[in-house]
């Protein structure tokens, strides 16, 4: 019951209070991290928004301006559908009110706190509103300033200007203080680099505080398939989730709520569940108590359900990821592994994708002597809380040495975890919980990439040896040709050609790219 | 001017090159066969009565990483040999080594790094082509000499080996171009030491014995062995060996008669299987009462006896085995020059004429 209470309180909190209380959890701790978090929130929102539209390839512009000491302006612009005037407040000003919260669907952002948090952070540190410029491609442009009325828990929009001009998309400008721009593994540069890797259809232009422009071109030109909405599977829900769904349900009875709002719960199953539990499922969903929800979740665990459909997941895709890795890391060797969808907690489908890149720009970007790990969940780079993340743990659990991969081997490992429900540790969405099935999947795919690289490295070593061996023949060819020519009167050049072709044939396994 | 022996070499070299070329034209990796010269491939051929190599051959291929260097070196020597023959130049092994040592084009590698490499290749080429180095105008060391009533011709010069002073004619490393013009002798006497050779020259033994006196100054070098072989072949005179009465002297004789293990691939060119051994023998010690001029065998000499006893070509002659066993039993050796104990001319006036007249030989 105290949990239930908490949930209700949570809803009643004002944005300001929520933000203050959960600031750290939301990623706004530390000067470098806070800046990265703001960019992250805007960029993920932006890509999700663009993808909502059919046939639109996302193109983003990110610019960081230095306004003074620990004072920056973040500008993010997209080519999305633009935002109608009356939705601006909802889109940016209200926490938990984003479109995402009510949808059980694989998306980058998950809880709808994101953009509002960023707006809030700007407002708290500078006292200034966030500027929004948006156009829907209809010849009109709307410019306004958005701030959050902390008392009313509502967005307030001021200095509204409408003018004509060609614009399709949205531009956000937020000023921030107490933040710091820095390169390195927690910085924006790295965040964006990784974003591009996981979103090969994204074109990104980035202007850093020094005015340097980096253009990341698309690695692929096709739009990835849209994730489908899917109802939750009974095995995948927590008590919290269940209560949340119950509260928002339109059904009049828990019976129908279960049948309508979940996948794989048939009328027959409802009857089976009813037999196992102590309360009547004919009651109103919103009257579901915490202890009853607990009982239900427990009963779900003891009941057999069909596995959830897994076609609702859209991973990056093997070919796309390969192209992205090729384009961004220009590796000497790459291996992408896409595993079949699996289920964790008995009901949550997920897919693990792994890429391993060797050589080229891969590995050791931050100067530390270890394998570079790039973590992603639903294509969003996870930069922080590396240590607690299932991906990191899986990487560390593999005996890379066995594949001839040492600490200083230039290797980048990329793992993208795709799921409708990512089991984050904390609301900061920075690391993935160590679910056994997840850990296993990541481990298995990593081992496969390791094996492949190991084989490649072995081949390379062999190749080097073969090359040396080939040389031992080649250095003697001129002398032999000359002698044999003098003995037989045959043209030296002809003998040389013959000998060379014999060596070439013998070493036909060696690539001709020396 | 190319001599007959060299003509054969040229023909063999030419064939060798063409054989390689043929393979190349068939797009095969060129290779050639070398009769194996390892000890295990050496045996005593009782029919020919020479130490020979068995039929085992190894292939040396261009496309084998452990062969290619030697392959190159072999061609290098083959090419040079052809040039030496055509230009009528004879080189020493050492000269050949320096002559052909250079960096391989575009590398820091030398054609060879020491003369072991070049020597091995010369031996290989001998075995492969079935000719001796002298035929390729690579001379062996010149050591040894001949004195006696024989007229030879070399490089256009005709000379009698009796009219060249006391030392006689120094036998060169390469005798392929030596022509036997005329001779007046009954036998060829091979003498181990130069000192004994001088003694016999001084005592006029060439006349008394009607002998051609040849010394190799110890173990006969290739030049002397080849010369003896040709001399015996072309004159059909008996070849009689006169060495110290010790396991080394007897071994020198065995090489003269059956050839050496090192040159097993070319013993046909050197060995004279019908040669005979006149002394010194263990029986001589008793017969000529030389007991006071023997010397005790040292450890090394005893070992040498054991080695000799184990050679197939020693076992082939029971007399040899008997002689070695006598030596072992007596524990002494007797030098040729110990005969001087009787008198300086004892060897020339008594010992040799007696033994040769009575044909007191070991086979």
pLDDT in tens, A6-57: 334 434 445 566 677 777 777 788 899 899 989 988 998 888 888 877 788 8
3-state secondary structure of A387: helix
Instruction: Return the pLDDT at A2.
Output: 40
Beta-carbon separation of B75 and A483 below 8 A: yes
Bond from prior residue into B280 cis (ω within 30 degrees of 0): yes
- Best A470, A480, A504 member to test B by mutation, with max B CBs in 10 Å, is A480
Contact A188, A36 (CB under 8 A): yes
Most confident of A144-158, A182-196, A203-217: A203-217
Summarize the confidence of residues A116-130 as an average pLDDT. 89
Residues on chain A touching B82 (C-beta within 8 angstroms)? 486-487
Beta carbons within 8 Å of A253's beta carbon, 6+ residues apart: A281, A282, A283, A284, A285
Look at residue B2 and tell me whether its pLDDT is greater than 50: no
Pairing of strands B169-170, B145-147: antiparallel
Nearest to B75 among A480, A502, A506 (CB): A480
Residue B144 corresponds to which tokens in the numbers above?
A: 């040894």
Residue A126 corresponds to which tokens in the numbers above?
A: 């500078």
- Best A465, A488, A495 member to test B by mutation, with max B CBs in 10 Å, is A488
Any B CB within 8 A of A499 CB: yes
| Distance between first and last Cα of chain B | 41
Contact B260, B267 (CB under 8 A): yes
Q: Note the Cα B65 to chain centre separation in Å.
A: 35
Instruction: Return the pLDDT at B289.
Output: 93
Nearest to B68 among A472, A478, A487 (CB): A472
A388 CA: distance to closest CA in chain B (Å): 54
Summarize the confidence of residues A165-174 as an average pLDDT. 92
Contact B217, B193 (CB under 8 A): yes
Any A CB within 8 A of B71 CB: yes
Contact A348, A233 (CB under 8 A): yes
**Whole-angstrom Cα distance, residue A352 to residue B118?**
65
Beta-carbon separation of B65 and A480 below 8 A: no
| Percent of chain A topping pLDDT 90 | 46
Give the model's confidence band at A1: pLDDT under 50 very low, under 70 low, under 90 confident, else very high.
very low
In which residue are the tokens 């060119």 written? B269
Instruction: Return the pLDDT at B304.
Output: 96
Give the model's confidence band at A147: pLDDT under 50 very low, under 70 low, under 90 confident, else very high.
confident
Nearest to A38 by CA among A49, A29, A47: A29
Summarize the confidence of residues A312-322 as an average pLDDT. 89
Any A CB within 8 A of B15 CB: no
Look at residue B118 and tell me whether its pLDDT is greater than 50: yes
Instruction: Return the pLDDT at A102.
Output: 44
Beta carbons within 8 Å of B7's beta carbon, 6+ residues apart: none
Residue B335 corresponds to which tokens in the numbers above?
A: 């030098």
Instruction: Return the pLDDT at A100.
Output: 38
B54 CA: distance to closest CA in chain A (Å): 29
Any A CB within 8 A of B25 CB: yes
Summarize the confidence of residues A280-294 as an average pLDDT. 90
Q: What is the pLDDT of residues B206-228, one digit of tens each?
A: 999 999 999 998 899 999 999 99
Residues on chain A touching B62 (C-beta within 8 angstroms)? 473, 480, 499, 502
Instruction: Return the pLDDT at B31.
Output: 94
Any A CB within 8 A of B69 CB: yes
Beta-carbon separation of A487 and B79 below 8 A: yes
Any A CB within 8 A of B108 CB: no
- Best B11, B21, B30, B129 member to test A by mutation, with max A CBs in 10 Å, is B21
Look at residue A122 and tell me whether its pLDDT is greater than 80: yes
**Whole-angstrom Cα distance, residue B100 to residue B114?**
11
Look at residue B3 and tell me whether its pLDDT is greater than 70: no
Instruction: Return the pLDDT at A104.
Output: 58
* Phi and psi at residue A200, to the nearest 5°: -65, -10
Residues on chain B touching A507 (C-beta within 8 angstroms)? none
Most confident of A76-85, A368-377, B280-289: B280-289
State the catalytic residues of B.
Answer: 98
Searching chain A, which residue's CA lies closest to the CA of residue B68? A473
- Of A95-109, A432-446, A452-466, B79-93, the range with the lowest mean pLDDT is A95-109
Beta-carbon separation of A475 and B24 below 8 A: no
B138-to-A483, B78, B129, B237 alpha-carbon distances in Å = 18, 11, 14, 28
Sign of CA dihedral A279, A284, A285, A286: negative
Instruction: Return the pLDDT at A95.
Output: 56
- Of B146-155, B171-180, B345-354, the range with the lowest mean pLDDT is B171-180
Instruction: Return the pLDDT at A230.
Output: 77
pTM, rounded to two decimals: 0.66
Beta-carbon separation of A487 and B106 below 8 A: no
- Higher-scoring residue by pLDDT: B253, A230: B253
Nearest to A134 by CA among A162, A113, A155: A162
Residues on chain B touching A499 (C-beta within 8 angstroms)? 24, 30, 62
Mark residue A410 as left, alpha or beta (left: phi above 0; alpha: psi -120 to 50; beta: remaining): beta
- Higher-scoring residue by pLDDT: B41, B239: B239
Nearest to A3 by CA among A243, A300, A236, A297: A243
| A144 DSSP β-pair partners | A132
Give the model's confidence band at A368: pLDDT under 50 very low, under 70 low, under 90 confident, else very high.
low
Any A CB within 8 A of B65 CB: yes
Beta-carbon separation of B21 and A472 below 8 A: no
The C-alpha torsion from A29 through A30 and A33 to A36, rounded to 10°, is 90
Beta-carbon separation of A480 and B111 below 8 A: no
Contact B237, B212 (CB under 8 A): yes
Task: Give the containing element (helix H, strand E) for B196.
Answer: helix B194-202
Residue B233 corresponds to which tokens in the numbers above?
A: 């072949």
Q: Note the Cα B226 to chain centre separation in Å.
A: 6
Nearest to B72 among A469, A476, A503 (CB): A476
- Best B68, B70, B112 member to test A by mutation, with max A CBs in 10 Å, is B68
Q: Note the Cα A300 to chain centre separation in Å.
A: 30
Beta-carbon separation of B79 and A473 below 8 A: no
Instruction: Return the pLDDT at A153.
Output: 67
Residues on chain A touching B72 (C-beta within 8 angstroms)? 476, 479-480, 483
Look at residue A64 and tell me whether its pLDDT is greater than 90: yes
Angle between helices A477-488 and B68-86 (to 10 degrees): 30
**Whole-angstrom Cα distance, residue A129 to residue A191?**
25
Q: What is the DSSP letter of A339?
A: P
Report, in angstroms and rounded to the nearest whole number, the Rg of chain B calculated over CA atoms: 22
Query: Residues, chain A, total?
Result: 514
B267 CA: distance to closest CA in chain A (Å): 27
Beta carbons within 8 Å of B289's beta carbon, 6+ residues apart: none
| Percent of chain B topping pLDDT 90 | 78
Any B CB within 8 A of A501 CB: yes
Instruction: Return the pLDDT at A367.
Output: 59
Summarize the confidence of residues B268-292 as an average pLDDT. 94
Q: What is the pLDDT of residues A411-468, one digit of tens each?
A: 999 999 998 888 888 766 788 999 999 999 999 999 999 999 999 999 888 888 888 8
């Amino acid at each position: 019951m105290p949990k239930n209470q908490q949930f209700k309180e949570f809803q009643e909190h004002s944005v300001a209070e929520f933000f203050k209380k959960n600031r750290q959890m939301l990623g706004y701790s530390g000067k470098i991290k806070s800046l990265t978090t703001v960019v992250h929130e805007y960029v993920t929102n932006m890509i999700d928004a663009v993808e909502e539209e059919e046939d639109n390839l996302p193109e983003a512009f990110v610019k960081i301006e230095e306004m003074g000491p620990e004072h920056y302006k973040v500008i993010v612009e997209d080519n999305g559908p633009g935002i109608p005037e009356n939705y601006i407040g909802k889109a940016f000003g209200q926490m938990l009110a984003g479109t995402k919260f009510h949808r059980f669907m694989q998306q980058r952002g998950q809880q709808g706190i994101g953009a509002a948090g960023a707006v809030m952070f700007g407002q708290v540190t500078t006292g200034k509103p966030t500027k929004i410029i948006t156009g829907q491609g209809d010849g009109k442009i709307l410019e306004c300033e958005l701030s959050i009325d902390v008392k009313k828990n509502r967005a307030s929009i001021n200095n509204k200007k409408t003018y004509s001009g060609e614009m399709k998309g949205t531009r956000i400008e937020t000023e921030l203080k107490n933040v710091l721009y820095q390169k390195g593994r927690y910085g924006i540069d790295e965040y964006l680099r990784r974003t591009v890797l996981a979103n090969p259809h994204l074109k990104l232009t980035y202007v850093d505080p020094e005015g340097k422009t980096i253009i990341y071109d698309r690695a692929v030109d096709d739009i990835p398939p849209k994730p489908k909405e899917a109802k939750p599977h009974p095995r995948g829900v927590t008590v919290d989730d269940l209560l949340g769904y119950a509260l928002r349900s339109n059904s009049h009875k828990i019976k129908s709520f279960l049948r309508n709002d979940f996948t794989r719960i048939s009328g027959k199953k409802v009857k089976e569940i009813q037999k196992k539990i102590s309360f009547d499922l004919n009651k109103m969903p919103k009257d579901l108590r915490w202890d009853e929800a607990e009982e239900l979740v427990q009963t779900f665990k003891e009941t057999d359900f069909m596995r959830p459909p897994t076609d609702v997941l859209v991973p990056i895709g093997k070919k796309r990821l390969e192209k992205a890795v090729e384009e961004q890391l220009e590796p000497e060797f790459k291996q992408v592994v896409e595993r079949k969808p699996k289920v964790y907690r008995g009901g949550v489908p997920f897919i693990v994708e792994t890429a391993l890149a060797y050589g080229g720009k891969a590995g050791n970007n931050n100067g530390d002597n270890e394998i570079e790990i790039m973590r992603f969940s639903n294509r969003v780079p996870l930069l922080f809380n590396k240590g607690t993340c299932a991906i990191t743990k899986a990487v560390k659990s593999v005996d890379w040495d066995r594949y001839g991969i040492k600490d200083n081997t230039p290797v980048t490992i990329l793992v993208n975890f795709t799921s409708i429900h990512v089991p984050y540790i904390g609301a900061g969405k920075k690391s993935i919980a160590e679910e056994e099935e997840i850990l296993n999947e990541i481990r298995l795919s990593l081992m496969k990439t390791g094996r492949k690289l190991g084989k490649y490295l072995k081949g390379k070593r062999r190749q080097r040896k073969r090359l040396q061996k080939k040389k031992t023949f080649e250095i003697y060819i001129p002398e032999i040709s000359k002698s044999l020519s003098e003995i037989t009167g045959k043209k030296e050049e002809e003998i040389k050609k013959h000998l060379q072709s014999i060596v070439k044939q013998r070493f036909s396994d060696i690539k001709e790219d020396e | 001017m190319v001599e007959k022996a060299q003509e054969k070499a040229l023909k063999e070299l030419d064939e060798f090159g063409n054989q390689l070329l043929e393979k190349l034209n068939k797009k095969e990796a060129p290779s050639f066969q070398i009769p194996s010269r390892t000890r295990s491939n050496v045996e005593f051929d009782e029919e020919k009565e020479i130490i020979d190599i068995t039929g085992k051959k190894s292939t040396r291929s261009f496309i084998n990483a452990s062969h290619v260097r030697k392959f190159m070196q072999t061609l290098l020597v083959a090419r040079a040999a052809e040039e030496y023959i055509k230009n009528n130049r004879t080189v020493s092994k050492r000269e050949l080594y320096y002559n052909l040592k250079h960096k391989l084009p575009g590398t820091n590698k030398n054609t060879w790094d020491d003369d072991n490499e070049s020597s091995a290749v010369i031996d290989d080429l001998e075995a492969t082509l079935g000719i001796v180095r002298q035929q390729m105008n690579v001379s062996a060391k010149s050591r040894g000499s001949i004195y006696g009533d024989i007229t030879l011709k070399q490089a256009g010069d005709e000379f009698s080996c009796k009219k060249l002073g006391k030392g006689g004619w120094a036998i060169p490393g390469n005798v392929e171009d030596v022509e036997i013009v005329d001779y007046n002798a009954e036998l060829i006497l091979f003498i181990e030491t130069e000192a004994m050779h001088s003694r016999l020259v001084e005592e006029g033994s060439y006349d008394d014995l009607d002998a051609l006196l040849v010394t190799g100054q110890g173990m006969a070098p290739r030049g002397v062995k080849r010369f003896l072989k040709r001399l015996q072949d072309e004159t059909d005179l008996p070849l009689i060996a006169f060495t110290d009465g010790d396991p080394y002297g007897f071994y020198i004789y065995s090489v003269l008669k059956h050839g050496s293990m090192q040159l097993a691939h070319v013993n046909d060119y050197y060995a004279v299987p019908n040669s005979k051994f006149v002394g010194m023998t263990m029986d001589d010690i008793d017969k000529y009462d030389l007991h006071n001029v023997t010397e005790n065998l040292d450890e090394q000499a005893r070992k040498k006896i054991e080695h000799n006893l184990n050679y197939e070509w020693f076992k082939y002659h029971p007399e040899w085995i008997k002689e070695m066993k006598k030596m072992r039993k007596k524990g002494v050796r007797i030098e040729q020059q110990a005969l001087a104990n009787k008198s300086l001319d004892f060897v020339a006036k008594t010992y040799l004429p007696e033994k040769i007249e009575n044909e007191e030989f070991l086979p």
